[in-house]
Amino acid sequence: MSLGVWEITIGVLALVLIFDFAMAYKQRNVETSLATAVSWTLFYIALAVGFGISLGQWADTQAQNEFFAGWLTEYSLSFDNLFVFVLILARLKVAKEKEQLVLLFGIAASLLMRGGFIAVGSVVVSRFAWIFFFFGAFLIYTAFKLIKESEEEEWEEGRFITYLRNKGASTFALALVAIAMTDVLFAFDSIPAIFGLTKDPYIIVTANIFALMGLRQLYFLIGGLMAKLVYLTEGLSAILGFIGIKLIIEALHNQHWDHIGDFSIPHISLQVSLGFIIITLISTSILSLLKTRKG
């Protein structure tokens, strides 16, 4: 993308984020209503979909497909991240009127950390093609770890949080530290995942920013969704595992290892990746709703 496109995109997205953060700060002592949360969540989703559709007009179909694959994956990860936020704030008993401010800092920290990881990841990827073996293995490991931990419904504070508590840290400070630590862990998952779908820095950055938009409002809807989307973690695990395998296959091709004996290593196209992500998310949602409906 040209410098002008970068400047316009970052400028517009920055204004939207600044507006959202300003609203959060202004309403930091006000509990968000369900109607407000729904309307703003739908607005940000529509914004992302509209941007993705427009890419096909002024960029190309490849960029459009890469954006939707990246945004859906990053949004799913951000959604899962919010589940942990809910558990942290509930476990620490953060006052309802303080949740806005905690989420504001948490999402801002997530944005900064992902931005830093994207910058470092781009440099590493451009210099060391073999890093995709590591990225792929890490995502497959994360997928297995998610399956193993899928039945856990409690967040347990770590030793550092306990240490701060014993030193007299306020609940607000404990929540900020816990969420910042969670942001680091999710950034480690998110960056290999997006690099497994696109190498275009413009798509990587915009997909991540759109995935973080509206999460503050989505938080206030997620309590009910947690009880309904019971298979979300399994779906996310399948997506990360799939991208991990795709990364390893790409790494093999980059090393010109196109065959293993008589077996020809296949190429996984972006269309296949996007289709798998969409089908997995739809299937996960349908199966979850059927499960909770029967229950």
Asked if 49 and 183 touch (Cβ cutoff 8 Å), the reply is no
* Calpha distance 158→255 (Å, rounded): 41
Cβ(26)–Cβ(18) below 8 Å? no
One-letter amino acid of 260: I
Q: What is the pLDDT of residue 152?
A: 54
Res 225: pLDDT: 66
Separation CA 65–CA 178 (nearest Å): 35
Q: Which domain holds residue 212?
A: 3-294
Round to whole Å and give the CA distance between 58 and 51.
11
Instruction: Report yes or no: 113 and 183 within 8 Å, Cβ to Cβ.
Output: yes
Give, for all 295 residues of the chain, the pLDDT tens digit. 778 888 888 898 888 888 877 877 777 677 777 778 788 888 989 999 999 999 878 878 888 999 999 898 888 887 777 777 777 887 788 877 777 778 778 778 877 877 787 788 777 777 777 788 888 888 888 888 777 765 555 556 678 888 888 888 888 888 888 887 777 777 777 778 888 888 888 898 899 888 888 777 787 777 666 667 778 788 888 888 898 898 888 888 777 777 777 778 888 888 888 889 889 989 988 888 888 776 5
The domain total for the chain is: 1
Output the pLDDT for position 67. 92
pLDDT tens digits, 207-244: 988 888 877 778 777 766 666 777 878 888 888 889 88
**What is the per-residue pLDDT for 224?**
61
Q: Which pLDDT score is estimated for 51?
A: 93
What is the predicted pLDDT for the residue at 49? 93
Neighbours of 223 (CB within 10 A): 10
Given a contact cutoff of 8 angstroms between Cβ atoms, the answer to whether 135 and 195 are in contact is: yes
Distance CA 122, CA 141 (A): 22
Q: HEC profile for the chain?
A: CCHHHHHHHHHHHHHHHHHHHHHHHHCCCCCCCHHHHHHHHHHHHHHHHHHHHHHHHHCCHHHHHHHHHHHHHHHHHHHHHHHHHHHHHHHCCCCHHHHHHHHHHHHHHHHHHHHHHHHHHHHHHHHCCCHHHHHHHHHHHHHHHHHHHCCCCCCCCCHHHHHHHHCCCCHHHHHHHHHHHHHHHHHHHHHHHHHCCCCCHHHHHHHHHHHHCCHHHHHCCHHHHHHHCCCHHHHHHHHHHHHHHHHHHHHHHHCCCCEECCEECCCCCHHHHHHHHHHHHHHHHHHHHHHHHHC
Please give the Cα distance from 152 to 150 (Å, whole number): 6
Residue 226: the pLDDT is 66
